Structure 1
Amino acid sequence: MDPVQNDLFIPFYSATFSRKFLTERYEENQIAQPKTTSYHTCSSFMYHLQHGQLYFKHASIVPIELKPILVFYGYVQLLKACILTLDPNYPESSQVLAHGVTTRKRKKSSYRFLDDEVKIQKNGLFSHFLDKMFHVKHQEGEKYQMLTLLRHIADMHSLFTRINKEELSYQGRMTANRVYISAKILDSYHMTANRFEQYLEANTVEVTSKRFQVSDQKGQLEITLPSSPSIWRSNPWLFNYKGEIFLLKDKEHTNSYKLPELATHFLLLYNLSMICRYEAEWWGDLIHTFDGVDYPYIAHYLTIAERKIPLLISSFLT
């Protein structure tokens, strides 16, 4: 694991610090007896973080054959720590212990990872953390294609460009609460600057009474934001690992997709971990024969997930 990432959670490995941190979160969320409750959840919170980091540490040194399992279960542990900051009774029932996602059990001979789908179930960890952390409900029965999920991770866009000659996004430049981005995005979205303002207000996840302001400065839009988007909760903005900001070129991809990036990673890693465990022949052929087009996307994505997920979790906690 990157030494910088290793330091992300260091303060939480003090029971005194973690209890104070949890007490403050419980007070913010009006949870009864916040101080007493933090004493009960503190150890579990710290162990989830510790176990998550251990999975990621070992994921960084194992071959790609095993990496999806370690990254996915490391991520699950970190997610559970996040949930405990909002839901001290987790897990309150066995319903939230399942992953809450399903995929096709048998892969056909023509199987292609990018075309594969996962389906959301009514109960389980996925729906629970979406509800608690993002107030997103009613995902039961929704299906998500792997290609769509990968398109919504900014760090993947350079690979799409190299392989498919496909530019997926416009990169912006961010200073404080302003973003500067090519005015060509207005043509891509078939919008005026005024309509684009309304679009951003309607599609931004952060609820605020302040308004966006968009002005066209000689081919470059200056967008004044009500507040700076956070890397873990940024829709419709996308952030890469370096903290650079992007907007997808195709507004239809944005309009029809409301998942936060942490949910995107969950679905991708769930499917990859299932393939790794239960589709040994396909997984082995992928890695050792380089057949088809899936390998570069999977290998590049796993590198990104390994580096970026601890950063997203840290951003949520702090």
Structure 2
Amino acid sequence: MWDSYLYFESESTTKAFLQQTYEECCIPKANVYAFQNASKFIYYIKQARQYYSSASHSDILVRPLLLYYGMVSLLKAYVLTRDPDYPSNTRVLQHGVTSRKMKKSYYSFAEDEVRVQKEGLLPYLYSFLNKDGLNEKYRLQNLLAVIPELQPAYQRLYKQITMTSVSLSSHRNFEQLCTIFYLPEFVLDEVHLTYDAFIHYLNRYNKGKASFAASVIEAPRGIIRLEWHHPENIHVTENGDGFENTLFTHDYKGNFSFKIKMDKAHTIPEVVTHYMIMYVLGMLCRYETERWGEIVFSFMSEDMYMIQEFLTLSARKFPNLVYNLLLKERYIFRIE
């Protein structure tokens, strides 16, 4: 995956990429901005690569901090593609989030909270990704609940199901030009809706050209059968934005999941979710060194299981998420 970022470490290709991106955003003097920002963009990417490389060889005592600053460098590169004058002031260089510096005597990572500030990198980044506003604060367990790869660990640790796998039909329906997919029937009970009402519920969260429809063919017992329609793509796997719906997400292997539990934490982009969680972990190992050591090395903490799962996943997935944002496509890097 990081080899793909080499495309952005060449001045000529970076200039061309930035100019095209600025032109697509209708930014005046796109060629001038591309020339001015090429070196800055390249150094953001190179710095991020070094942070992630160092994190992969570092002890867990300091790894979250390295991963967090690697995230910051990647996000600054993305923001630069949307705002050629970034940073226009020192306020946008702040973290944009905060957490309680001094933790309580009894500390639970899942119950900790991250608060969103009015200014800084996070709210500024979010303004380019989502029209909906951010909450003032988020509980970490709710953020962990919306990362698909963590769902097995989440269910095991917290005894809750917040996502379920989507089964896609490989068959392409050329008569109706749609994708057939299946969900477990229990999702209807979870959202307290009938089958027809569930179709309307799905369509409320569309954010593109796609739409959902009921299937005329009855599904086997225990599952429900649905149709996904798109004017330009027959199969959802061919669409760069997937289902184009807030209720659906996908893991880094391209497998789709449906979000059963819906709240504000479920509507934010996954890059924002990773950023918030990693910020708290970075602050723990930076300012709460003794407590962080107890979490890492104590057999008494159940937090370490989820933290380790998240650190491993985020180191692999976050650069992939930003790469997708930069190129406006859904790229899947498979490990052979």
- When the two structures are superposed, what TM-score results if normalisation uses the length of structure 1? 0.90
In the alignment, is residue 59 of structure 1 matched against residue 51 of structure 2?
A: no
Query: Which of 253, 257, 260 is equivalent to 1:246?
Result: 257
3-state SS, counterpart of residue 223 of structure 1? strand
Which residue of 2 is the match for residue 236 of structure 1? 247
Query: How far apart are residue 83 of structure 1 and its match?
Result: 0.7
In the alignment, is residue 316 of structure 1 matched against residue 325 of structure 2?
A: yes
Whole-angstrom CA distance in 1 between matches of 2:76 and 2:243: 16
Query: How far apart are residue 137 of structure 1 and its match?
Result: 5.4
Which residue of 1 is the match for residue 299 of structure 2? 290
Which residue of 1 is the match for residue 131 of structure 2? 136
Matched residue count? 308
Listed as ranges, the gaps of 5+ residues in structure 1 are: none
- When the two structures are superposed, what TM-score results if normalisation uses the length of structure 2? 0.85
Whole-angstrom CA distance in 1 between matches of 2:243 and 2:260: 21
Deviations 1:233-283 (A, max 9, x none): 862212222221111233xx3466321101101100111100110001110
In the alignment, is residue 147 of structure 1 matched against residue 158 of structure 2?
A: no
Whole-angstrom CA distance in 2 between matches of 1:171 and 1:317: 27
Which residue of 1 is the match for residue 236 of structure 2? none
Kindly indicate whether the alpha-carbon contact (under 8 Å) linking 2:205 and 2:246 is maintained by their aligned counterparts in 1: yes
Distance 1:265 1:291, change over 3 A: same
3-state SS, counterpart of residue 113 of structure 1? coil
Kindly indicate whether the alpha-carbon contact (under 8 Å) linking 1:100 and 1:122 is maintained by their aligned counterparts in 2: yes
Whole-angstrom CA distance in 2 between matches of 1:277 and 1:225: 48
Query: How far apart are residue 54 of structure 1 and its match?
Result: 1.0
3-state SS, counterpart of residue 108 of structure 1? coil
Whole-angstrom CA distance in 2 between matches of 1:21 and 1:293: 45
Q: Which residue identity is paired with 2:130?
A: H
Kindly indicate whether the alpha-carbon contact (under 8 Å) linking 1:101 and 1:120 is maintained by their aligned counterparts in 2: yes
Whole-angstrom CA distance in 2 between matches of 1:57 and 1:214: 47
RMSD, aligned CA = 2.1
Query: How far apart are residue 193 of structure 1 and its match?
Result: 2.9
In the alignment, is residue 207 of structure 1 matched against residue 208 of structure 2?
A: yes
Whole-angstrom CA distance in 2 between matches of 1:86 and 1:229: 20
Query: How far apart are residue 161 of structure 1 and its match?
Result: 2.7
Which residue of 2 is the match for residue 224 of structure 1? 228
Whole-angstrom CA distance in 1 between matches of 2:189 and 2:132: 33
Query: Which of 21, 27, 31 is equivalent to 2:27?
Result: 31
Query: How far apart are residue 85 of structure 1 and its match?
Result: 1.1
Kindly indicate whether the alpha-carbon contact (under 8 Å) linking 2:205 and 2:247 is maintained by their aligned counterparts in 1: yes
